[in-house]
A and B are shown apart, each in its own frame.
Chain A
Amino acid sequence: MGLFTRMETVFKSKMNKVLNRMEDPRETLDYSYEKQLELLQNVKRGVAEVTTSKKRLQLQRAKLVLSNEKLGQQAKEAVAANREDLARMALERKAAIQQQVDGIDREILELEKQEEKLIASEKRLSTKVEIFRTKKESIKAQYSAAEAQVKINESVTGIGEEMADVGLALDRAENKTEEMKARAEAIDDLMEAGALDDLTDSRDGIERELAKISTQSSVESELAKLKAEAGKGPEKAKTGVESTGPEEGKEV
């Protein structure tokens, strides 16, 4: 039983090293209890880490969803402006971001499972630790070396297995959290590099082109209005995006 044996061996060998140095078997009980409390503290920290990791992913997801909405809007505007090339670009980016969102959703689900399991393990161990505390005090109170040694061993090995189990659950949760951190950092890097950017802030690409189209059509309509006022031609004022001028397909 690879995983567990390894974990249990680590626990037992640590315990045995100390236990062998203890002259009074009752010290074994106190030492074991201290170890249990330490482990419970670590499990609490582990749960907090998983929760933090999950929140970070949720924040990233929210950012990506906003980018997606923006790109959807840009695609619509591009289609309205007869710029299929821009619409295509926006939709391609939107699809790439959607893949990231789907991946994050799966990971959030996985982290939630880890979180639930760890919390349940912590509760179980916490109850056992409390029972152990009462037990150890009762053994110590009735202490007579011959029979107490047996009881002490039973109690310590029984809860030792529980500790090993929870310790391993904690290890697995920590590994998962590390993986998620790495994944979150990778997404942050992509965002910083602009690979998942909706191009709202950058002055190139879709947003710039759409802004140009909108500027051109407002210039055209303004011009038409001025001409009409000056009686310089029969045109009626044009509005909005219905005329975009002889816009050439430009490199984006």
Chain B
Amino acid sequence: MIIRIMGEGQYRAPEALCNELNKIDNKIVALVAEGNAREFRTEFMKLISEIKGKGEALGVEEFLESDIIVPPEDLSFEEAKAIFTGDGIIED
């Protein structure tokens, strides 16, 4: 899977990592629905650091479309309400 973190470039993620990310993604959807801004921030930062830490950064010479697009780090809780709904950013 190819994942883009907005404003930070693309990463190649193995299947196992995508499953992990999906769990975090679903947790974020629940937290946003509850209106829990603090926990949302913690989980969202975790999602991004998992991708950066366990994914493989794509070189600039590769021109690939992403399968998953992760919002930028400075996403506000208000913006998150419009994005983390239903399945979230990763389809179940």
Contact = CB atoms under 8 A, between A and B. Distances in A.
Interface of A: 1-4, 113, 117, 120-121, 124, 127-128, 131-132, 135, 154-155, 157-159, 161, 165, 168-169, 172
Closest 7 A/B residue pairs (Cβ): A158-B63, A2-B82, A127-B60, A169-B7, A4-B69, A2-B83, A1-B69
A128 B58 CA distance: 12
B61 interface: yes
A32 to B, nearest CB: 11
Interface in B59-83: 60-66, 69, 71-72, 74, 79, 82-83
A168 B60 contact: no
B77 to A, nearest CB: 14
Nearest to A161: B65
B89 to A, nearest CB: 6
Contacts of A1: 69, 71, 83, 89
Question: How many interface residues does chain B have, given as a range?
Answer: 20 to 34
B68 to A, nearest CB: 9
A154 B69 CA distance: 18
B76 to A, nearest CB: 10
A55 B38 CA distance: 32
Contacts of A169: 6-7, 72
A165 B6 contact: yes
Given A117-B7, A168-B6, A128 B83 contact: no
Contacts of B6: 3-4, 165, 168-169
A205 to B, nearest CB: 41
Given A124-B9, A172-B74, A154 B83 contact: no
A132 B63 CA distance: 9
Contact of A158 (B64, B71, B79): B64
A121 B9 CA distance: 8
Contacts of B62: 158
Nearest to B5: A165
A3 B66 contact: no
Q: Looking at B62, B69, B71, B79, which has the most chain A CB atoms within 10 Å of its CB?
A: B69
A124 B60 contact: yes
B78 to A, nearest CB: 11
B12 interface: no
